[in-house]
Structure 1
Amino acid sequence: MPVGAVASERIRVMTTILLCADTDVERVADQVESLTTLPLDPDRVRVVVYHVFRADGEGADAGKLKSVARAVEALEAAGFEVAVEQSNGDAVREILDAAEAFDADLLSLAGRRKSPAGKALFGSVAQQVSLRSDRPVLFCSPD
């Protein structure tokens, strides 16, 4: 194969972002905004909008959640390839497993306002994922 042919056949490198969406429309909108303002080539990025149901997910459909539907709409409008995935169970474990399963290059998480005592007593999914993940985490905190 001629050298020029190698240069013209570029490998399309895809970046996969796991956007961990809860049911709060505003928090998820902040996550979407944080992604759409990064210097990313939408043609080379796949965003997996991922929701974890805490209870048995039988019959549940993440795509029907307002937060997820709006995220998909905004990300597709920005030119990103988008998929919706879901699971049920312990949110921290499920998110970490999904990051591995989808070979995510970046995790997008949103935080909630909690006092330090509240975090100590009740924990924080975003905090635990960011501490346990071996992947980069983009953390969107509430205004």
Structure 2
Amino acid sequence: MRASTVLLNSIVLIQLFAAQIDAKGSKSPWQTFSGDAPLVIARGGFSGLFPDSSIDAYNFAMQTSVAGAVLCCDVQLTKDGHGVSFPDLKLNNASNIGDIYPNRQKSYPVNGVTTQGWFTIDFSLRDLNNVSCKYL
């Protein structure tokens, strides 16, 4: 190992231990490094009750969450350059796209593997207006 790597790792470990010692001595009920309340981060909205990454899932998560909650979403680009919130590269994994456009399936190399499905880059935002999310 190079000396600079060892030095950097040592500095990081010292900082982590110092923050942990500070948190243990804190009067705060929150066992975070700062003593502040932890952030609430929802990925995909309120999945399990609504389809993942759907507008209903995000709206419900915001209505029922604590103030300052953070929503994290996956964004896929359409053929015409619009971003849509969708949990997967392949639209057929979480939507009814195959029912709407049965003959528009394509194949692309994904991480070195030829993958077949319906991909957002093959559809315009207008094309996707008739497509609905479904439960995973």
Is TM > 0.5 for Structure 1 vs Structure 2? no
Larger relative contact order (CA 8 Å, sep ≥ 6): 1
Structure having the larger proportion of residues in strand: 1
User: Whose radius of gyration is greater, 1 or 2?
Assistant: 2
Structure having the larger proportion of residues in helix: 1
* TM-score between the two structures when normalised by the length of structure 2: 0.30
